[in-house]
Chains A and B, each alone.
Chain A
Amino acid sequence: MRRPHPSIRGKLIALTLLAILAPISCVLFIVGSNEIRDIRSDMVTSSVLITSVVAEYAAAALAFDSRPAAEEALQVLAANPRFLDATIYDRAGRRFAAFRRPGRTGPDPPAVLADAEPRSTLEGGRITVVYPIAQGGERFGTMVLHGAMAPVTSRVHAYVWGLWWLTLGIIAASLTLAWALERMVSRRLLRLADVARQIARGADYSVRASDRGHDEIGLLAEAFNNMLAEIDHRQTEAREAIRMRDEFLSVASHELKTPLTSLKLRVQGLIEHSPTVEDPTEAARMDKSFELAERQVRRLEKLVNNLLDVSRIAIGRFPLQREEVDLVGLVHNVIGQFSAEIARLDVEVGLDLPEHALGLWDPMRLEQVVVNLLSNALKYGAGSPVEIVVRIDGGNALLIVRDRGIGISPADQARIFERFERAVSLNYGGLGLGLHITREIVLAHGGTIRVESVPGEGAAFIVELPRGIEASEQMGEAWTQQPQP
Chain B
Amino acid sequence: MDATAATVMVVDDDIDIRETIQDLLEVRGFHVIGAGDGADAMAQLKRGARPRVILLDLMMPGLSGEEFRNQQLADADIAHIPVVVLSGARGVDEAARRMRVASLPKPVELHELMETVGRFCADEHAAR
A301 at the interface (CB under 8 A from B): yes
Interface residues of B in 2-36 (CB under 8 A from A): 14, 16-17, 19-21, 23-24, 27
Tell me the chain A residues, 244-302 only, with Cβ under 8 Å from chain B. Answer: 254, 257-266, 268-269, 272-273, 297, 301
Contacts of A257 in B (CB 8 A): 88, 106-107
Dominant secondary structure of chain A at its interface with chain B: helix
Residues of A within 8 A of B47 (CB): none
- Judge whether B59 and A254 touch: CB under 8 Å: yes
Known contacts A258-B17, A263-B107, A266-B20; decide if A321 and B92 are in contact (CB<8 Å).
yes
A106 interface contact, C-beta 8 A? no
* Contact, CB under 8 Å: A261 / B110: no
Q: Verify A258–B14 contact, CB threshold 8 A.
A: yes
Residue B91, interface by CB 8 Å: yes
Q: Is the CB of A268 within 8 A of B88?
A: no
Identify the closest chain A residue to B59 (Cβ): A254
A273/B27 in contact, CB under 8 A: yes
- Is the Cβ of B20 less than 8 Å from the Cβ of A262? yes
Interface residues of A in 133-164 (CB under 8 A from B): none
Judged by a CB distance under 8 angstroms, whether A469 is at the interface is no
Tell me the bound Cα distance from A161 to B106 in angstroms.
Answer: 100
A374 within 8 A of B: no
Contacts A308-B90, A319-B94, A364-B90 hold; do A258 and B106 have CB atoms under 8 A apart?
yes
With the chains together, A80 CA to B116 CA distance in Å? Answer: 137
* Interfacial chain B residues near A124, Cβ < 8 Å: none
Given contacts A257-B106, A265-B108, A273-B27, contact A321 B90 (CB under 8 A): no
- Chain B hits for A268, CB < 8 A: 109-111
Give chain A interface residues in 298-316, CB to chain B under 8 Å. 301, 305, 308-309
| Alpha-carbon distance A319/B92, docked complex (angstroms) | 11
Q: With an 8 A cutoff between CB atoms, is B113 at the interface?
A: yes
CB of A257, distance to nearest CB on chain B (Å): 5
**Residues of the B chain whose Cβ atoms lie less than 8 Å from the Cβ of A266:** 20
Residue of A nearest to B94 (CB): A319
A485 at the interface (CB under 8 A from B): yes
Decide yes or no whether A425 CB sits under 8 A from chain B: no
The answer on a CB contact under 8 Å between A260 and B107 is yes
Q: How far is the CA of A485 from the CA of B103 in the complex (A)?
A: 9
A305 closest partner in B (C-beta) = B90
Quick check: is A105 within 8 A (CB to CB) of the other chain?
A: no
Q: Judging by beta carbons under 8 Å apart, are B88 and A254 in contact?
A: yes
Chain B interface residue count, CB cutoff 8 Å, equals 28
Q: Is B45 an interface residue (CB 8 A)?
A: no
Chain B residues near A265 (CB-CB < 8 A): 17, 20-21, 24, 107-108, 110, 113
Partner of B14, one of A262, A273, A305, A309: A262
Complex-state Cα separation, A351 to B102, whole angstroms: 35
Give bound CA distance, A257 to B12, whole Å.
Answer: 13
Asked if A484 lies at the interface with its beta carbon under 8 angstroms from chain B, I say: yes
Q: Which of B92-127 contact A (CB under 8 A)?
A: 92, 94, 100-102, 106-111, 113, 116
The smallest beta-carbon distance between B45 and chain A, in angstroms, is: 22
**Which residues of B have CB within 8 Å of A321?**
91-92
Cα distance, A266 to B106, chains bound together (Å)? 14
Q: How far is the CB of A244 from chain B (nearest CB, A)?
A: 19
A484 engages B102 (CB within 8 Å): yes
Docked Cα-Cα span, A265 to B106, in Å, equals 10
Chain A residues with Cβ below 8 Å from B59 are: 254
Q: In the bound complex, how far is the Cα of B17 from the Cα of A257, in angstroms?
A: 11
- Contacting B107 at CB < 8 Å: which of A269, A297, A309? A297
Given known A254-B59, A262-B17, contact A309–B90 (CB-CB < 8 A): yes
Contact present for B91 and A261 (CB under 8 Å): no
Residues of B within 8 A of A485 (CB): 100-102
In the assembled complex, the Cα of A262 lies from the Cα of B21 at a distance in Å of 8
CB A311 to nearest CB in B, in angstroms, measures 12
Those of A411-437 within 8 Å (CB) of chain B: none
The answer, among B19, B100, B107, for a CB contact under 8 Å with A264, is: B107
- Closest Cβ of chain A to B61, distance in Å, is 13
B10 → A minimal CB distance (Å):
12
| Contact indicator A261/B90 (Cβ below 8 Å) | no
B88, B101, B107 — most chain A CB neighbours (10 Å) = B107
Given A254-B59, A319-B94, A321-B92, A264-B108 contact (CB < 8 Å) = yes
Which chain B residues (64-92) contact chain A, with CB distance < 8 Å?
86, 88-92
A/B interface sample: 25 pairs, CB < 8 A: A260-B107, A261-B20, A261-B107, A262-B19, A262-B20, A263-B107, A264-B109, A264-B110, A265-B17, A265-B107, A265-B113, A266-B20, A268-B109, A269-B20, A269-B24, A273-B27, A297-B107, A301-B107, A309-B90, A319-B94, A321-B92, A364-B90, A364-B91, A484-B116, A485-B100
Query: 14 extra interchain contacts, Cβ-Cβ under 8 A, other than A258-B16, A263-B107?
Result: A254-B59, A258-B88, A260-B107, A261-B14, A261-B20, A261-B86, A261-B107, A264-B107, A264-B109, A265-B110, A272-B110, A321-B92, A484-B102, A485-B101
3 A-B pairs closest in CB distance: A268-B110, A262-B16, A262-B20
Interface residues of B (CB under 8 A from A): 14, 16-17, 19-21, 23-24, 27, 59, 86, 88-92, 94, 100-102, 106-111, 113, 116
